[in-house]
Structure 1
Amino acid sequence: MTDSTLWISSLTAGTAVLASWVTSRGTARAAQIQAAATERTQRTIRISEARRSAYVSLIEQAHKMAELYWTVSDIHKSGGSRAEQLPALKEVQASLRVEYGRLRHFIWVINLEGPDNVAAAAETLRLSTRPPHRALGASIEGEPDAVALFDQCYDPFWESVLAFVSAARTAVHDL
């Protein structure tokens, strides 16, 4: 009788130890799965916030440049002589250089944050600033068709801004 009691108590203790071990393994695995899911969620949130911030910064910067382009058009339409317009045009040109530097910075951040289609749209936006810059330089130099050329540059620039906004919106919502 003693042997069967010892045998049953040993079996019961062994079963309890095995059950405890299995439970702890399951709990540890569940904790690992939960930690990995939390990490993925937090990473997705961080990426989304970083991208959204970079995209908004570029859009705001594009708006600043658009305002300066409007200022150039206003100067051209002011009716003043070329000599009267020249200092204002040069001032806007200097401001555009500063704003372009900021625009470029935001584009580099977007190239880092991705995705590729948004980075490509940002690069297209950057390239769309070249024609207005050249037309403004031509206007300052006194080329006769520069004013009309400058006015023709605004729509392609704005279309590139809208294309970027569309690509950015899609990227933010696809995360």
Structure 2
Amino acid sequence: MTDSALWISALTAGTAVLASWVTSRGTARAAQIQAVAAEKTQRTIRINEARRNAYVSLIEQAHRMAELYWTVSDIHRTGGTRSEQLPALKEVQAGLREGYGKLRHFIWVINLEGPDDVAEAAETLRLATRPPYQALEAAVAGEPNALDAFDQCYDPFWASVLAFVSTARAAVHDL
């Protein structure tokens, strides 16, 4: 009788060890799956935040540049002689140069973070800053009607800002 008790206890112990091993393997695998899922979620959150911050920064910078464009239009509307307008126009021109550097930085970040359609919209926005700046340069250089040409450049610039906002919004909501 002791032989069968010994066999039963050995079988029970072996079964317990095997069950424990199977359970620990399943638990370890479940923990690994959960860790990978948490890592993917965190990475997605970081990407979303980086993209959103880049998009917002570009939009804010575009607004700052638009304010400078409005200043040029205000200078033009107030009239005055060229010599009276020139210092203010040069000041705005310097502000636009500085603003363009920041705008370009944000566009590089967006090119890095993606997606491609948002990067393309950002590049379109960047290109839309050229005509107003060239018209402002012409005004500073004394070309007649340059400020009138400048005013004609504002709407295409603003349209590119709105297009970027729309594209960025879609990209943020698709993530």
Question: What TM-score bracket applies, with the shorter chain setting the length?
Answer: over 0.9
Q: What is the TM-score normalised by the length of structure 2?
A: 0.97
**1:91 counterpart residue number:** 91
Q: Deviations over 1:20-50 (max 9, x none)?
A: 0010011001101111111111111111111
Letter in 2 for 1:2: T
Letter in 1 for 2:64: K
What SS does the aligned partner of 2:144 have? coil
In the TM superposition, what are the counterparts of 1:19-38 in structure 2 within 5 Å?
19-38=19-38
Give the secondary structure class of the aligned counterpart of 1:144: coil
Following TM superposition, the consecutive aligned residue runs of length 4 or more in structure 1 with deviations greater than 6 angstroms are: none
What TM-score do you get using the length of structure 1 for normalisation? 0.97
Alignment match, 2:110: 110
Could you tell me how far 1:78 is from its partner in structure 2?
Answer: 0.8
After TM superposition, list the pairs within 5 Å mapping 1:102-141 onto structure 2. Answer: 102-141=102-141
The answer to which of 13-22 and 2-11 deviates more is 2-11
Alpha-carbon separation, structure 1, partners of 2:115 and 2:43: 15
* Partner residue, 1:6: 6
The aligned counterpart of 2:54 is 54
In the alignment, the residues of structure 2 paired with residue 67 and residue 174 of structure 1 have an alpha-carbon distance, to the nearest angstrom, of 31
In structure 2, runs of 5+ residues without a counterpart are: none
Tell me what 2:18 maps to.
18
Letter in 1 for 2:174: D
1:35 partner letter:
A
| 2:155 alignment counterpart | 155
Q: Percent identity?
A: 82
Partner letter of residue 150 of structure 1? F
Report the Cα offset of residue 138 of structure 1: 1.0
Structure 1: gaps (5+ residues): none
User: In structure 2, the residue corresponding to 1:143 is in which secondary structure?
Assistant: coil
Say how many residue pairs are matched. Answer: 175
Distance 2:145 2:52 in 1: 40
Q: Distance in 2 between matches of 1:149 and 1:131?
A: 9
1:98 shift after superposition = 0.5
Deviation for aligned residue 1:3:
2.0
Q: For residue 142 of structure 2, what is the aligned residue in structure 1?
A: 142
The Cα shift of 1:16 comes to 0.4
Kindly provide the CA deviation profile for residues 80-118 of structure 1, in whole angstroms up to 9, marking residues without a partner as x. Answer: 011111111111101100111111111111111111111
Provide the aligned C-alpha RMSD in A. Answer: 0.9
Letter in 1 for 2:108: W
Three-state SS of the structure 2 residue aligned to 1:73 is helix
Amino acid at match of 1:130: R
For residues 153 and 137 of structure 1, the distance between their equivalents in structure 2, rounded to whole angstroms, comes to 13
